[in-house]
Amino acid sequence: MVSAKTRKVLFLCTGNSARSQVAEALFRSLAGDGFIVESAGMNPSHVDQRVFDVLSGFEVSSAGLVSKSVETLNLESFDFIITLCDRAKMECATYPDHSDLIHWDIEDPKPKEGLKPFVDLFTDLKDRISLFLLLNGEGEHTVEGPIELFKVLSDPLRLKVFMLLEDEGALTVSDLTNVLGMSQPKVSRHLALLRDSGFLSVQKEGLWVFYKFTENLPVWVRHVISTIRNGNPGIINTEKQLLNKLENRKLSNSK
């Protein structure tokens, strides 16, 4: 579970001379106060001058960058360890034993001539780090993880509930019963499961009870739901048409 404390990130590669140095500086620039970041190498060597050149060109500070060995660090103190080795060259073959280990397969730019390989490296890392921060930058939440999410999404009825809520924001049991063609007790059982799992919350407005996504739903969960919806435009066409035909339908005031 993601915690609200300041978290520590380590970028690890072979020489701590190019990829991990750019990653450290760029991450520090993008992350703000929510993270502490360091980098290290399995066999550290001097930092390539092009690291400083590319960072300067993108106006990212290179202050404090120095090559160091992973053996000088306490790996258990880091919340995330991100390895940047090139699988094609079997670099960093020994990975640390850590619960939150991520691998980004990135080619070493040092053997190539000129600054362009480092510009490409910077662009690649910026995209990856920006997504990492988007998905890991929120505070505590109650959803257990991807296994729970995909169990939920494996049921066709619950999947359609998610897709309808993604479009509509909030719906009543009556709305869902009418458009899904299922009995009220069955729909209510599924909604109760989604609520107890932390995905949905209940909001009362007078005599009406609305179901909606919980406000603290993790960004990665919302990202998955949004991706499924946008990648499958026709998945709830029939249900949407039925919803639009409902007479005297009550709409949530907080949609």
Predicted pLDDT at 218: 86
Q: How far apart are CA 227 and CA 163, in angstroms?
A: 10
Domain spans of the chain, in order of start: 7-136, 146-245
Q: Of 88 and 69, which is predicted with more confidence?
A: 69
Report whether pLDDT(212) > 80: yes
Distance CA 36, CA 78 (A): 9
CATH of region 146-245: 1.10.10.10
Q: Name the band, by pLDDT with cuts 50, 70 and 90, for residue 3.
A: very low
Q: Confidence class of residue 156 from pLDDT cuts 50, 70 and 90? A: very high
Share of the chain above pLDDT 70, in %: 90
CA dist., res. 193 & res. 97, Å (int): 35
- Output the pLDDT for position 225: 95
The predicted pLDDT at position 18 comes to 96
pLDDT at residue 86 tops 80:
no
- The side-by-side arrangement of strands in the sheet containing 7-13 is 35-41, 7-13, 80-83, 101-103
| pLDDT given for residue 143 in this prediction | 60
Is there a contact between 81 and 52 (Cβ–Cβ < 8 Å)? no
Share the mean pLDDT of the chain.
Answer: 89
Name the pLDDT band for 232 (thresholds 50, 70, 90). Answer: very high
Using 50, 70 and 90 to split pLDDT, how confident is the model at 254? Answer: low
Q: Does domain 7-136 have CATH number 3.40.50.2300?
A: yes
- pLDDT (0 to 100) of residue 2: 40
Determine the average pLDDT of the residues in 201-205. 92
pLDDT tens for each residue of 103-150: 998 999 999 999 999 999 999 999 999 989 888 876 555 566 788 899
| Alpha-carbon gap, residue 194 to 18, rounded angstroms | 46
Please determine, for residue 211, whether its predicted confidence score (pLDDT) is greater than 70.
yes
What CA–CA distance (Å, rounded) separates 244 from 218?
30
**Is the pLDDT assigned to residue 93 strictly greater than 80?**
no
Residue labelled with tokens 């921060």: 133
Helix boundaries (H) for the chain? 19-31, 49-57, 116-136, 146-153, 156-168, 173-180, 184-196, 219-231, 237-245
Q: What percent of the chain has pLDDT over 90?
A: 67
Pairing type for strands 208-213 and 171-172 reads antiparallel
Answer for the pair 16, 39: CB distance below 8 angstroms, yes or no: yes
